[in-house]
Amino acid sequence: MNQGGVATTNGGSGSGSVGVQIHQSRRLPDFLQSVNLKYVKLGYHYLISNLLTLCFIPLIAVISIEASQMNLDDLRQLWVHLQYNLASIIICSAILVFGLTVYIMTRPRPVYLVDYSCYRAPDHLKAPYGRFMEHSKLTGDFDESSLEFQRKILERSGLGEETYVPKAMHNIPPTPSMAAAREEAEEVMFGALDILFHNTNVKPKDIGILVVNCSLFNPTPSLSAMIVNKYKLRGNIRSFNLGGMGCSAGVIAVDLAKDMLQVHRNTYAVVVSTENITQNWYFGNKKSMLIPNCLFRVGGSAVLLSNKSKDRRRAKYKLIHVVRTHRGADDKAFRCVYQEQDDAGKTGVSLSKDLMAIAGGALKTNITTLGPLVLPISEQLLFFTTLVVKKLFNAGIKPYIPDFKLAFDHFCIHAGGRAVIDELEKNLQLLPIHVEASRMTLHRFGNTSSSSIWYELAYIEAKGRMRKRNRVWQIAFGSGFKCNSAVWEALRNVKSSSNGPWEDCIDRYPVKITT
């Protein structure tokens, strides 16, 4: 009996192993085929990218052979010929020098990112799930349905237990006053600026351009005026205050600063990006307006830009492109993120159910413009060929999605929410490591609005992943509806600056996000 049992067991094992072998043998050709296709595609990209160089090789070889066969008499004849055409040479040289001078004087000035900083709130402002729900219940403003809705959103949001809400929201009942909102703005902006000035050794008086963006809090005097007053900035500073432009306003602020740096020579520009939660917390029961309560958290950034050539040596990045897309002409897009009052007269920001579809359309428009600027010619040819075949032959083939991984080494996708990151990871065919910075920023700091892309860049640096000539794509979405992109190139192997937002916790990341 035992022997029979053993024989049966062995037989079962044997058949099982044979089954595995058969299964593996069937999968092996598929695996080899995928590997072959991978290397075929890599070879294609290499060939197209270096096509011009490869074409010049035969020409260089022919010229070299001809030059090697020239004797001394040929060289003398060439020199005599040049002597008799001295006037032509002088005129051509003058035209060349004039042309080069005009080009140098009129070309766009490079914009360097010297350094940046991100604000990290004190620990007593942390809002773990339990405390958040307890405070929401104790306010008495939310019914049971709204409380349950917020609990589900928090569980699925991708936010961790260490995000921050402002001081006024920790009080019971909450105290969202104008004074409290100003206090939040000052703590965030001045906190980020203090770190920036300390790390760069730049004096506030040296700042020639100041751009501040905050969508929902726009007091008088403005936030930019608050900074001028605090740091006693010079009287002729060009200051700007951008309001109502949503979570993509950080890229808009960089674009404005870039344009100003093209006009004003030899100066610095500071871009401050933040959002104010204190006066924009929603205390009603409309579901679409409760979502921002669960996602938005305290945060802000300060960025130092320069057009000084000497700053290239110490700068972290160079600005390559800014591409902005605005879908405000479409009514649905215009209203998909909308500040309004509910039926009870309570103000909040309503998020439309069509938000992700509208964001997808804005992204498509944005990358259509950005693609030709950054993608290798091989990807552009594949995209163009697929488009022509589809148009001419009405073929039922899917549009070719360019591989942006060939253009960028790092991706900073606005941490607007888990669904936003998931959608871009899927549509752009990114790998988990490409969206790691976005997911971890959402987990650690929540949606800090326009400053989230800087927390993500700080994460990449803190992980030691930024290498010289790496390209970074910052992409953000905002009300209106807008999709904006900024492309940066690392000028060196970039390390984290001191007092960074991840300084005390980077070793704990990445963490596993539960579904």
Residue 80 CA to residue 60 CA, distance in Å, equals 26
Beta-bridged to residue 303, according to DSSP, are 116, 271
Q: Residue 14's closest CA among 26, 6, 2, 25? A: 6
Is 23 a catalytic site residue?
no
Is 443 a catalytic site residue?
yes
Q: DSSP alpha helices (H): ranges in 116-265?
A: 129-139, 144-157, 167-170, 178-200, 223-231, 249-263
Task: Write down the catalytic residue from 410, 412, 434, 484.
Answer: 410
Which residues contact residue 336 at a Cβ distance below 8 angstroms, ignoring those fewer than 6 apart? 351, 352, 354, 355, 358, 479, 481
Direct distance between the N- and C-terminal alpha carbons of the chain, in angstroms, rounded to an integer:
49
Task: Write down the catalytic residue from 214, 247, 336, 483.
Answer: 247
Is 410 a catalytic site residue?
yes
Residue 378 CA to residue 399 CA, distance in Å, equals 16
- Specify whether the CB–CB gap between 267 and 256 falls below 8 A: no
Task: Write down the catalytic residue from 285, 326, 412, 484.
Answer: 326
Residue 433 CA to residue 92 CA, distance in Å, equals 54
Q: How many CB atoms within 10 Å of residue 127? A: 23
Beta-bridged to residue 341, according to DSSP, are 347
In three state form, how does the secondary structure of 92-132 look? HHHHHHHHHHHHHHHCCCCCEEEEEEECCCCHHHECCHHHH
Q: Which two tokens stand for residue 269?
A: 């520009």
Is 135 a catalytic site residue?
no
Residue 346 CA to residue 163 CA, distance in Å, equals 25
Is 414 a catalytic site residue?
yes
Task: Write down the catalytic residue from 414, 434, 483, 484.
Answer: 414
- Specify whether the CB–CB gap between 317 and 281 falls below 8 A: no
Is 326 a catalytic site residue?
yes
Task: Write down the catalytic residue from 214, 241, 366, 443.
Answer: 443
Active site residues: 247, 326, 410, 414, 443, 447
